[in-house]
Structure 1
Amino acid sequence: MNFYDHTGKMAIGSRLRLLTDKITEDAAEIYKLYQVDLQPKWFPVFHALSQKDNTITGIAQLIGHSHPSVSKIVAEMSKKGIVTEKKDKTDKRRNMVGLSRKGQEIAEKIKDQLTDVNSAIEDILSGTRNDLWKAIGEWEFVLEQKSLLRRVQEQKKLRESGNVQIVDYKPAYAAAFKTLNEEWISTYFKMEEADHKALDNPDSYILKNGGAIIVALYNGEPVGVCALIKMNDPHYDFELAKMAVSPKARGKNIGWLLGGAIIRKAKELGASMIYLESNTILKPAINLYHKLGFRKVAGHKSPYERCNIQMELALETI
């Protein structure tokens, strides 16, 4: 096991397969020892059917296997004469699977084997410091809450977000500010007059009017932008606008980092309420705004045809 000691926990799948292979090899020999005509992979289906007849769907749900997997095993057992299929008496559209006479004989014959195997497993557990059976149950429960894939995706995002730097706007980022916004707007909608005002003249339209722009750099390259536009409104101080992230940089937590940074910027500028406009077709963006604390409002006149949702954030509450 020196190889797995060296690779560590990242090789957990390979190590579990190795353990499974060892147990499966022994299981095949155990069936021979007791002269039971079963394959180890059939056991969950066989055991379920030894309790009661069932449909393939019902068996799959009971043992946690896929429908195609159970269907294949039932077909293999049927060829061996261990199971039979027949129409459900209460619903002719369903096929019920049950043990044949040969299968019932095996169910009786296997009892001694199951008793001995259970005792052998208990003997193994008594010789270990950790109860593998309980640990498997714990892993299954935890992975049901969040899969290994999802956890790796989160770790990837966390690691990559460490290479993201949020900086204040400067003229060198003017092209990126315009290009990144034009890219997403043109993908989903059309450029409007208010877009051109902000993107063609960010210094005069946003910065000189008391607003702010921030830029997300990934490994030094501008891949995300966001702005605060000063509002002439008695209720709102700034509009959060022109947030854009390059498609090639998505999945790196950049939207969340930009959102948090622009909210802090608004606080630094003395804001108490900020406002934004969006469209519900942009589901990831709407979800992000909700996570940042924004809540839906209505009634504000918008200069954008594409706007179908308006949101606000009270800064004193966060």
Structure 2
Amino acid sequence: MDFFNKAGKMAIGSRLRMLTEKITEDAAHIYKLYEVDLQPKWFPVFYVLSQGEEKTITSIAREIGHSHPSVSKIISEMTKKGFVTEKKDRTDGRRNIVKLSRKGNEISDKIKDQYTDIESAIEQISEQANHDLWKAIEEWEFILEQKSLFARVKEQRKKRESGKVEIVDYKPEYQSAFRDLNEEWISTYFKMETADYKALDDPQGYILNKGGSILVALFDGEPAGVCALVKMNDPDYDFELAKMAVSPRVQGKSIGWLLGQAIIQKAGTLGAAKLYLESNTLLKPAINLYHKLGFEKVAGRATPYERCNIQMELVIA
């Protein structure tokens, strides 16, 4: 077990598989010991049918948590051995009804002593163990049902990679990144418009000199995302959140979320009570991000952009 001590929790799948293989190997020997001609993999299907009811393959699969093809294959193997009989469902000819055959029922009676001895052996192991494996399995199954291991690993990866993100204030050296990142997404979905060129060609004059702000997200020290606050001459809004762009090469690392939070915080330090933004519902990930940040849809206003079909606001104060 030195490998598992070194590999640790990363090898949980391998360790569980090894334990399963060991128990399955013992199970095969136990069936032979009691002269019961069953394969260990058949047991869940056999046990369900041994309760006496006729069942469809679909209902068996649902009850034991196996796939329909898996149960269908087991039924086929058990039928060849003479343990199971199949017939068409009278109410639905597309479904087969299965039940234990006479031979299968004989095994069901014969296997009772085996059940008793296995129960006793498992109890003996439980008494020698410091932890209740059965309860632990139930607990893990429940927890993984709420959120899979895969989903949890994805979350941890995003959390780790987001630690490489640094949000900094705009500097002239970031002008090309500010333009390139925005032009990339705009040209992918729409077309560059006059208002785009004004902001992207001269961010200093169009945004910063008028009281606005630009933040840049660095990933491993390289510009990977940008977002701006454009000062508005509007009685309802102080700033427009605009020109948010994240490089598709680093998406999925929470850069948009971190930029959004930072720009909202920046607006607060500038005395903003409300933020305004314009977007397009075609950009579903962006719209979802804005909702997550707290923005809500508002009635349409005059806009310089042809692509705009949704407008949103965020109350900061």
Looking at structure 1, the residues matched to 216 and 286 of structure 2 have their Cα atoms a distance apart, in angstroms, of 17
> Could you tell me the percent identity over the aligned residues?
73
Asked if 1 retains the 8 angstrom alpha-carbon contact of 2:300 and 2:310, the reply is no
TM-score by length of 1: 0.96
Aligned to 2:125: 124
Aligned pairs for 1:228-243 within 5 A? 228-243=229-244
Aligned to 1:166: 167
Shift of 1:228: 0.7
Amino acid at match of 2:316: L
**Structure 1 residues 105 and 302 mapped into 2: Cα distance closer, same or farther (>3 Å)?**
farther
Asked if 1 retains the 8 angstrom alpha-carbon contact of 2:57 and 2:97, the reply is yes
Shift of 1:234: 0.8
Aligned-partner SS, 1:234: coil
Aligned to 1:148: 149
Which piece of structure 1 moves more, 223-232 or 81-90?
A: 81-90
Looking at structure 2, the residues matched to 196 and 229 of structure 1 have their Cα atoms a distance apart, in angstroms, of 14
Amino acid at match of 1:38: L
In the alignment, structure 1 residue 300 sits paired with structure 2 residue 301: yes
Aligned to 2:26: 26
TM-score by length of 2: 0.96
Looking at structure 1, the residues matched to 72 and 208 of structure 2 have their Cα atoms a distance apart, in angstroms, of 66
Which piece of structure 1 moves more, 297-306 or 225-234?
A: 297-306
Amino acid at match of 2:108: A
Aligned to 1:79: 80
In the alignment, structure 1 residue 175 sits paired with structure 2 residue 180: no
Looking at structure 2, the residues matched to 21 and 229 of structure 1 have their Cα atoms a distance apart, in angstroms, of 63
Amino acid at match of 2:203: P
Looking at structure 2, the residues matched to 183 and 108 of structure 1 have their Cα atoms a distance apart, in angstroms, of 72
Alignment deviations for residues 160-209 of structure 1 (CA, whole Å, 9 cap, x no partner): 11111111111111111111111112222222222222112211111111
Amino acid at match of 1:88: D
Aligned-partner SS, 1:190: coil
Shift of 1:23: 0.4
Shift of 1:142: 0.5
Alignment deviations for residues 263-292 of structure 1 (CA, whole Å, 9 cap, x no partner): 111011110100111222222212211111
Looking at structure 2, the residues matched to 78 and 177 of structure 1 have their Cα atoms a distance apart, in angstroms, of 68
Aligned to 1:194: 195
RMSD: 1.3
Aligned-partner SS, 2:166: strand
Aligned pairs for 1:162-311 within 5 A? 162-311=163-312
Aligned to 1:45: 45
Looking at structure 2, the residues matched to 57 and 76 of structure 1 have their Cα atoms a distance apart, in angstroms, of 17
Asked if 1 retains the 8 angstrom alpha-carbon contact of 2:216 and 2:223, the reply is yes
Amino acid at match of 1:196: Y
Gaps of 5+ in 1: none
Amino acid at match of 2:41: K
Aligned-partner SS, 1:217: strand
Aligned-partner SS, 1:244: strand
Shift of 1:130: 0.9
4+ runs deviating over 6 angstroms: none
Gaps of 5+ in 2: none
Shift of 1:303: 2.1
Which piece of structure 1 moves more, 218-227 or 191-200?
A: 191-200
Amino acid at match of 2:136: A
Alignment deviations for residues 52-103 of structure 1 (CA, whole Å, 9 cap, x no partner): 2222221111111112221221222122122222111222221112222222
Alignment deviations for residues 9-28 of structure 1 (CA, whole Å, 9 cap, x no partner): 11111110111111011000
Looking at structure 1, the residues matched to 70 and 62 of structure 2 have their Cα atoms a distance apart, in angstroms, of 12
Aligned-partner SS, 1:73: helix
Aligned-partner SS, 2:85: strand
Amino acid at match of 2:6: H
Looking at structure 2, the residues matched to 279 and 268 of structure 1 have their Cα atoms a distance apart, in angstroms, of 28
Aligned to 1:89: 90
